[in-house]
């Protein structure tokens, strides 16, 4: 359990520290946005692999039993989260996390200006229920809270960095998904990034369900959803 908690703390610090003291912007100015995002993503992936390895090796304290409905909730929420993460990373979005900070905001930004964090939240929240042991609640519950807090951190940083331009930059989008569309400040549209993300989501979900999830994590989500085991 100790290694798991240390890995989780390192993961949280690595994602939280760049938001303080202008460290992130200084690194972007020195390395360039694309280089920074690639390096940051690689480090995040390495830390995430370490975290999940420690998660699998740590002791279990069961809090509740597994049931089929829990797996179905995961099967619904996680593909939506994956779609938002892929689409958010590939779409231009100066107001949030993206590989492409400049240019006309992608179509997903009309849905929410923090698609990556919403996707991360749905992925994490969807994994809480079928992981009814203490370490699962810590990991996925912590991820869920971290994603929500990340939105407030990005909002604060956006107001500080963009100043008077922030209102115009966010006029046609909202934090809450579909909020700007329902308020009439934006219109739903599709672009090539959304279509590509949908394709990646379908392929990625299929690979996880029918092959890699059980190999990587020792759990067959389809078996759990269909038979509760």
Q: Are residues 75 and 50 in the same domain?
A: no
The answer to whether residues 118 and 171 belong to one domain is yes
- Is the pLDDT assigned to residue 148 strictly greater than 90? yes
Examine the pLDDT at 228 and tell me if it is beyond 60: no
Task: Inform me whether the pLDDT recorded for 59 exceeds 90.
Answer: no
- pLDDT of 70: 81
Helical spans, DSSP H, in the chain: 2-16, 23-31, 33-57, 68-90, 108-111, 115-128, 134-162, 166-169, 179-182, 192-207, 213-217, 221-227
| Higher-scoring residue by pLDDT: 102, 155 | 155
Domain of 219, in residue numbers = 61-227
Whether the predicted pLDDT of 78 surpasses 90: yes
**Is 95 found in the same domain as 17?**
no
Residues 103 and 7 in one domain: no
Same-domain status, 117 and 200: yes
Domain boundary, last residue among 59, 76, 106:
59
Same domain for 175 and 117, yes or no, is yes
Same structural domain, 150 and 220: yes
Rounded to an integer, what is the distance from CA 3 to the centroid of its chain?
23
Q: How confident is the model at residue 11 (pLDDT cuts 50, 70, 90)?
A: confident
Judgement on whether residues 122 and 175 belong to the same structural domain of the protein: yes
- Rounded distance between C-alpha atoms, residue 143 and residue 84, angstroms: 16
Number of domains in the chain: 2
Q: Are 208 and 121 found together in one domain? A: yes
């Amino acid at each position: 359990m100790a290694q798991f908690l240390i890995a989780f703390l390192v993961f949280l610090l690595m994602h939280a520290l760049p938001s303080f003291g202008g460290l992130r912007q200084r690194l972007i100015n020195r390395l360039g946005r694309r280089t920074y995002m690639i390096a940051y993503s690689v480090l995040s992936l390495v830390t995430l692999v370490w975290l999940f390895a420690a998660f699998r090796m740590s002791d279990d304290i069961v809090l509740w039993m597994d049931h089929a409905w829990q797996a179905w909730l995961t099967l619904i929420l996680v593909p939506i989260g994956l779609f938002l993460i892929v689409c958010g990373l590939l779409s231009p979005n100066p107001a949030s996390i993206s590989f492409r900070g400049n240019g006309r905001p992608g179509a997903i930004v009309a849905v929410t200006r923090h698609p990556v964090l919403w996707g991360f939240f749905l992925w994490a929240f969807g994994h809480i229920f079928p992981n009814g042991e203490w370490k699962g609640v810590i990991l996925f519950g912590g991820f869920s809270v971290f994603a929500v807090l990340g939105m407030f951190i990005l909002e604060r940083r956006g107001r500080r960095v963009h100043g008077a331009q922030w209102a115009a930059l966010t006029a046609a989008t909202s934090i809450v998904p579909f909020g700007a569309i329902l308020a009439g400040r934006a219109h739903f549209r599709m672009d090539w990034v959304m279509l590509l993300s949908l394709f990646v989501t379908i392929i990625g979900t299929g690979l996880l369900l029918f092959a890699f999830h059980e190999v990587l994590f020792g759990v067959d989500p389809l078996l759990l959803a269909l038979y509760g085991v």
